């Protein structure tokens, strides 16, 4: 079973791991596929990371009121994406990490600072038509200190 942590827990090191940006889009699910293949090939584990920002109105509501529950919502996005990508057979050592942050690309860059690799989808939900990369993928490709793989939806890795 996948380990799940939230932003309130101590940040974990990601050395000897592949970090995957997950937002629930088809491209991020493909990124999870790619990470599993690459991770198995080079012998590292996977951190599936979702970045989220609390809405401005969040602080006016109680998380127990059910009005807004960003921690639960992002955990559900992670769980659903991982289930779509892997079904019941998840990679060994897979961790699901939810990080609060204003900028998803900054969160991914911070978390992947010690990683072997960062894998992101080429475009998230609602990308601008005609642009080959989404803003998060572009920022990660430009600023990461580790290798970055940008995956587009519909480009699954070949299994040999």
* CATH (domain of 129): 3.40.50.620
Whether 116 maps to a domain, the answer reads yes
Instruction: Give the range of the structural domain holding residue 116, as residue numbers without chain letter.
Output: 3-151
In this model, does residue 133 exceed pLDDT 50?
yes
pLDDT grade for 151, boundaries at 50, 70 and 90: very high
What confidence category does residue 73 fall into, taking pLDDT thresholds of 50, 70 and 90? Answer: confident
Q: For the stretch 72-108, what's the b/e string if a residue is b when 16 or more beta carbons lie within 10 angstroms of its beta carbon?
A: eebbebbeebbeebbeeebbeebbbbbbebeebbbbb
Q: Does residue 112 fall inside a structural domain?
A: yes
Q: Quick check: is 15 in a domain?
A: yes
119: its two tokens: 């894998």
Residue 160 in any domain: the answer is: no
pLDDT (tens digit, 9 = 90+) per residue, 17-60?
A: 999 999 999 999 999 999 999 999 999 999 999 987 766 555 55
DSSP H or E stretch at residue 29: helix 26-42
Q: Considering the entire predicted model, what is its pTM?
A: 0.78
| 156 found inside a domain | no
Neighbouring C-beta atoms of residue 10, cutoff 10 Å:
5
- Reported as type and span, the H/E element at residue 82 is helix 70-86
The separation between CA 37 and the C-alpha centre of its own chain, rounded to angstroms, equals 16
Q: Does a structural domain hold residue 89?
A: yes
Number of domains composing the chain: 1
Report if residue 157 sits inside a domain.
no
């Amino acid at each position: 079973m996948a380990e799940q942590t939230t932003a309130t827990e101590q940040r974990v090191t990601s050395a000897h791991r592949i970090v995957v940006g997950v937002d629930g889009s088809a491209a991020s699910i493909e990124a999870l596929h790619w990470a599993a293949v690459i991770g198995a090939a080079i012998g590292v584990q996977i951190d599936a990371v979702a970045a989220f920002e609390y809405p401005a109105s969040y602080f006016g509501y109680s998380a127990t009121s059910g009005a807004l529950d960003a921690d639960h919502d992002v955990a559900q996005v992670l769980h659903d994406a991982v289930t779509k990508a892997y079904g019941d057979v998840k990679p060994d050592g897979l961790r699901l990490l939810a990080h609060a942050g204003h900028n998803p690309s900054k969160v991914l860059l911070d978390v992947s600072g010690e990683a072997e690799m960062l894998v992101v989808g080429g475009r998230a939900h609602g990308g601008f038509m005609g642009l080959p990369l989404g803003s998060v993928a572009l920022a990660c490709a430009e600023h990461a200190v580790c290798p970055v793989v940008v995956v587009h939806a519909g480009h699954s890795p070949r299994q040999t």
